[in-house]
Chain A
Amino acid sequence: MAVPKVWIPEWNDWCPGCGNFGIINAEQQALSELGLTPEDVVVVSGIGCSGKTPHFFRLPISGVHTLHGRALTFATGIKLSNPELTVIVNAGDGDQLGIGAGHFVNAGRRNVDMLVILHDNGVYGLTKGQASPTLRRGEKTKSLPRPNINDNVNPIALAISSGYTFVARSYAYDVKHLKEMIKAGIKHKGLALIDVLQPCPTYNDIHTKEYYDKRVYKLETEPGWDPVVRKPEEEGEKMAKAMLKSLEWGERIPIGLFYQNELVPSYEERIATNAPSYKDRNPSKVRFEDAGRYTTIIDDILKEKEI
């Protein structure tokens, strides 16, 4: 397929200083470095500032900007129908942990081979700064009339307990780190989550660049940190260690890979167990008609019901 003669990116209307810039830049660099064919990349997003991510790409990709909370559901349908596509979900904390929490959890049960990037800024930016599911109890960001009285969701622990097989955290202003995490997440076989800590310069006056800059540290620098499951019997222990680590928050905030387990079969592999033809027949490339004539033969099916 030809590269577009003219690729005119949309004007990016995120606020100056928005963490989304770091995310989209890291994402584009990762895609370039992996040398993926642009037409094979589909970026699926939800609603809110992060939802606009695919529209703002400066690289040619396809974008599917979906509904609030539902990005993962569309992405699942896309990936399972055409497993050759690289499918990346960009969606916010409200998207994935609030209105779409059910989808976030159930996606883990399936382990479809996709990457989920969680834009985690603690607020609902596009509706003017209400508390999101990752904002901690007692915190009062700029536009909240009173301190938040809800407890927060721990995305790392939730993802691990839901069955995600690659769970990491990164920071929007450490583009290099984030880029590497994205590359690893794309290469991972199974469902990957990267929880990206991201300042919202307009509405979150607590979790600012200054706040994170001095707190984040890299897990890989921690002696002995090995989050990869290599044998089935390591699974429980590595899960537990990762979840315990995910509770660390305050003066020091860990980023990096918390947990990875490629021993779990992907959903695609599970489908192929039931329907072996799925292995070598990409559903989107099966010709179900030939010059208008249907190619499927239902004789056997009719025979089952014959009287």
Chain B
Amino acid sequence: MKISWEIGGAQGAGVDTSANIFGAAVASAGYYIYGNREYYSNIKGRHSYFNLTISDKRARSISSVVDILATFDAETVFQHFTEVRGVIIYNKGVKDTKLDRVQSMEPEIQERVKEFLESKGLGTTVADALKYVESKGVKLIELDYDEIVKKTAESVGVPMSVAERAKNTAAIAASYALTGLKKDYLMDALKKTFKQETFVKINSIAAEMVMAGIKPMFQLKELPKQGRRIQVDGNTAVAMGKIFAGLSFQSYYPITPASDESVYIEAHQEVMAVDPETGDKRKRPIVVVQSEDELAAINMASGAALTGVRAATATSGPGFSLMAEGIGWAGMNEVPVVVTYYIRGGPSTGQPTRTSQADLLFAMHVGHGEFPRIVIASSDHVEAFQDAVWAFNLAERYQTPVIHLVEKAIANAYSIFDVSELELDRLRAERGKLVETPDGEFQRFKFTEDGISPRVVLGKAYVFYTGDEHNELGHISEDSENRIKMYEKRLLKLRTADREIPEEERIKVHGDADARIAVITWGSPKGAVLDSVEQLSGEGVKAQVIQIRMFNPFPKNLVKKLLSNKEVIIDVEGNYEGQAGVITKLATGIEPTNYILKWNGRPMTWDEVYDGIKLALKGEKRVVLHGGA
């Protein structure tokens, strides 16, 4: 069972809070949720919306077709009315608003909506858009937001300005009433969110007022919940993973959509930890530095890593471009540093608040010269947590920068999942060849069979680092023979990693091994791909999904083996070039037969991937997806 709910309004009008209240209420009743947040690079006034999937099973994607659309304003109706198949909740006061009066709407979008409405022989008011959906069987719920605010204010005895946000509560209360769930969950969520008595009262009264007049459209029943469930977005999941893994130093420069991670860590700057010496629980500090730029951010983290702490930074494309220099130094000096790379739309400033998978090849080749860059990619919130832990282990074991890819579509989306999925008890720390008690002058770059030298931290031995080519002691060396050996030593680590890390851990395979169709994917599209493949499977079309989790070193033998018996190989990813497809071809010699690509900045929905796979199976080589407002 799946219900798709969407809410939209002007940025700053409370769309997020409303979505969270609604989500929390439904989740308390035992449902899983996957929610995606879309917003402009703007503080107040531009259109933002939240799209949620409610499901009795773990939800992992959003849908292009919306069951319930709750709107705060005219723009939300104009931007989304064609997506709706169930109900639109709208404000009576905007019915007569004409399209060309909605100034926050970009002219290109206005023009498209205008053409659509005119092609249906309609005018260009909100009422016209509603008339269209009504003709398609969509139900309308009209609420008088001003009236609700007025009545609420009167009943609580506060000025109307204080009760202003009752509008938002009206929209979510109407949505909630449609689910058929008992109202207690919503009331609890309101209480939890607003805390202060007056505001709880205002919102509860508004909610009751609206719910009284609405008949349920679904008959959702309370579901039994076992164990603990949490609701986290991608930024928080990564932050939690880092903290769990022992992060002690995080530096960052503000950038969308990465900063929320660092801000979260700063808010949790002291965490409880067991002191192994005494067995006591004691607080430990985490240093968080907001640096002057990303050059500083990566280098501060590298400096910290040299002292033995687990150190990381988090950024997005423009910042990662600046970090290229520092990542090169970390590669040259074999520094275990972690960079969480939240991909957004590029090049240049691109689309700061929109998702992308276009930086995969860049991440794999960042910086000049040849050195090992380990690159991993998370596809959901549980992986985002676990991969943050994994990244540190890889960094320490192979003494090289690890780039952890997380897209905006994961960073700003959230899901509800069982804490047990994190498998905290299974996760172990690996510190590689760390030497606790060294002796005197230390050969930090000692030649070894696997390319990995014993590592000592600053303060425990006399140790040298330099971005120049160096000898085993870490002093500058331009000797041609040393150059050959030291250069090989660094790159040998990648071979060692390739030999040691089981290829089964570097991909996840889902679905039918005997299928003649393979779908290659990575990162955020995974949920949509799995949901579409599940749907197809129900229709008798079997496919095996190969989700790539590590791009460098690439699991070439296993991927090659899996692809070798396939007739159709569909590469699904969020870029123009089919970058994972390019890498697959380079590594295995096998090229995808079809591509489903999306680069409009919006996450893939499961139904558009479903349609895409069908088109691919009909022979379309390259399907370009357009979904999302």
Q: Which residues of A contact B (CB under 8 A)?
A: 1-7, 10, 38-40, 42, 44, 47, 52, 54-55, 60-67, 70, 73-78, 80-82, 84-85, 102-103, 105-106, 110, 271, 274-278, 281, 283-284, 286-290, 292-302, 305-307
Cβ of B458 and Cβ of A82 under 8 Å apart? yes
Complex interface: chain B residues within 8 A of A103 (CB):
292, 295-296
Q: Which of B295, B307, B428, B475 contacts A78 (CB 8 A)?
A: B307
Q: Counting CB contacts under 8 A, is B432 at the interface?
A: no
Q: Is the CB of B458 within 8 A of A62?
A: yes
Q: Please indicate the chain A residues that have their CB under 8 angstroms from the CB of B284 in the complex.
A: 277, 281, 283, 286, 288, 296
Are A10 and B475 touching (Cβ within 8 A)? yes
CB-based contact A77/B310 at 8 Å: no
A80 touches B304 (CB 8 A): yes
Q: At the interface, yes or no: B272 with Cβ under 8 Å from chain A? A: yes
Of B4-12, B223-231, B616-624, the one touching chain A:
B223-231
Tell me the chain B residues, 232-267 only, with Cβ under 8 Å from chain A.
Answer: 232, 236, 240, 243-246, 248-249, 251
- Contact check: which of A7, A70, A295 meets B273 at CB < 8 Å? A295
Least CB distance, A84 to chain B, in whole angstroms:
7
Stretch of B91-99, B352-360, B437-445 lying at the A interface: B437-445
Interface pick from B463-471, B524-532, B539-547, B556-564: B463-471
Within 8 A of A (CB), among B455-489: 457-468, 474-476
Contacts of A66 in B (CB 8 A): 299, 329, 465, 467
Kindly list chain B residues whose C-beta atoms are within 8 Å of the C-beta of A2: 439-440
Residues of A within 8 A of B494 (CB): none
Residue numbers in A under 8 Å from B309 (CB-CB): 81-82, 283-284, 286
**Min CB–CB distance A263 → chain B (angstroms):** 23
Task: Give the docked Cα–Cα distance between A81 and B302 (Å).
Answer: 11
Asked if B586 is an interface residue, CB under 8 A from chain A, the answer is no
Q: A82-B459, A296-B272, A307-B229 are in contact. Are A283 and B248 (CB under 8 A)?
A: yes
**B36: shortest Cβ distance to chain A, in Å?**
18
Work out how many contacts link A and B, with CB atoms closer than 8 A. Answer: 260
- Cβ-closest chain B residue relative to A11: B475
* Chain B residues, CB < 8 A from A300: 272
Q: Select which of A44, A64, A277 is within 8 A of B285 by beta carbon.
A: A277
Selected from B287, B429, B465, B475, the residue in CB contact (under 8 A) with A283 is B287
Query: Across the interface, which residues of A come within 8 angstroms of B307, CB to CB?
Result: 77-78, 81-82, 85, 283-284
| Contact residue among B24, B276, B460, B468 (Cβ-Cβ distance under 8 Å from A295) | B276
Residues on A with beta carbons closer than 8 Å to the beta carbon of B416 = 307
Could you tell me if A307 and B231 are in contact, using CB atoms closer than 8 angstroms? Answer: yes
Q: Supply 13 A–B pairs (Cβ within 8 Å), ascending by A.
A: A2-B439, A64-B306, A67-B467, A70-B295, A77-B302, A80-B287, A80-B289, A82-B308, A271-B285, A286-B248, A287-B275, A288-B246, A294-B429
User: Closest residue to B284 on the A side, CB-wise?
Assistant: A286
- B281: CB under 8 A from chain A? yes
B269, B308, B419: the one within 8 Å of A275 (CB): B269
Among B251, B325, B419, which residue has its beta carbon within 8 angstroms of that of A77? Answer: B251
* Across-interface contacts of B269 in A (CB, < 8 A): 274-275
C-alpha spacing A298/B281, complex, angstroms: 12
Check A289/B246 contact, CB under 8 A, given A82-B307, A102-B292: yes
Contact A275 B270 (CB under 8 A): yes
Which residues of chain B come closer than 8 Å to A70, judged between CB atoms? 295-296, 299, 325-326
Q: B residues touching A (Cβ–Cβ < 8 Å)? A: 24, 27-28, 228-232, 236, 240, 243-246, 248-249, 251, 268-277, 281-287, 289, 291-293, 295-296, 299-311, 325-326, 329, 416, 419, 424, 427-431, 438-441, 457-468, 474-476
What residues on A are CB-neighbors of B228 within 8 Å?
A: 302, 306
Task: Classify the secondary structure of B's interface with A.
Answer: mixed
Would you call B276 and A74 a contact (CB within 8 A)? no
With contact pairs A77-B302, A80-B289 given, residues A307 and B230 touching in the complex (Cβ less than 8 Å): yes
Closest-CB distance, A55 to chain B (whole angstroms): 5
Shortest beta-carbon distance, B325 to chain A, in Å? 6
Q: Give the residues in chain A near B240, CB-CB below 8 Å.
A: 298, 301-302
Chain B residues with CB under 8 Å of A271's CB are: 285, 287
**Are B459 and A85 neighbours in the complex by a CB distance under 8 Å?**
yes
Q: Is the CB of B296 within 8 A of A287?
A: no
**Lowest 4 A-B CB distances belong to which pairs?**
A288-B246, A77-B303, A4-B440, A289-B429
Contact A39 B460, beta carbon cutoff 8 Å: yes
Measured between beta carbons, the chain A residues less than 8 angstroms from B231 are: 305, 307
B401 CB, min distance to chain A CBs, angstroms? 14
Q: Which of B27, B287, B441 contacts A307 (CB 8 A)?
A: B27
| Nearest-CB residue, chain B, relative to A84 | B459
Tell me the smallest distance from the CB of A287 to a CB of chain B, in Å.
5
Please measure, in the bound complex, the distance between the C-alpha atom of A190 and the C-alpha atom of B629, giving whole angstroms: 52
Nearest opposing residue in chain A for B474, CB measure: A63
**Interface pair B306/A78, CB less than 8 Å apart:** yes
A77 touches B427 (CB 8 A): no
Which residues of the other chain, B, contact A288 by a CB distance below 8 angstroms? 245-246, 248, 273, 284, 310, 429
Q: Give the Cβ gap from B242 to chain A, nearest Cβ, in Å.
A: 10
Contacts A62-B463, A102-B293, A283-B286 known; list 4 others, CB within 8 Å.
Answer: A2-B440, A62-B464, A74-B300, A294-B246
Asked whether, in the complex, the Cβ of B291 is within 8 Å of the Cβ of A73, the reply is yes
| Chain A residues with CB below 8 A from B283, complex form | 275-277, 281
Q: A77-B311, A81-B304, A103-B292 are in contact. Are A65 and B464 (CB under 8 A)?
A: yes
Would B440 and A61 count as touching, CB distance under 8 A? no
Cβ A296 vs Cβ B310 within 8 A: no
Complex CA gap A223/B243 in Å reads 56
With contacts A80-B287, A298-B271 known, is A1 near B464, CB below 8 A? Answer: no
Complex Cα spacing A70 to B327, Å? 13
CA distance A84 to B228 in the complex (A): 42
* A81 touches which of B273, B303, B326, B463 (Cβ 8 Å): B303
What is the CB-to-nearest-CB distance from B254 to chain A, in angstroms, rounded to a whole number?
A: 14
A102 CA to B291 CA, complexed, in Å: 10
Q: Is the CB of B229 within 8 A of A306?
A: yes
CB–CB B464/A75 < 8 A: no
Docked CA distance A5–B291 (Å): 40
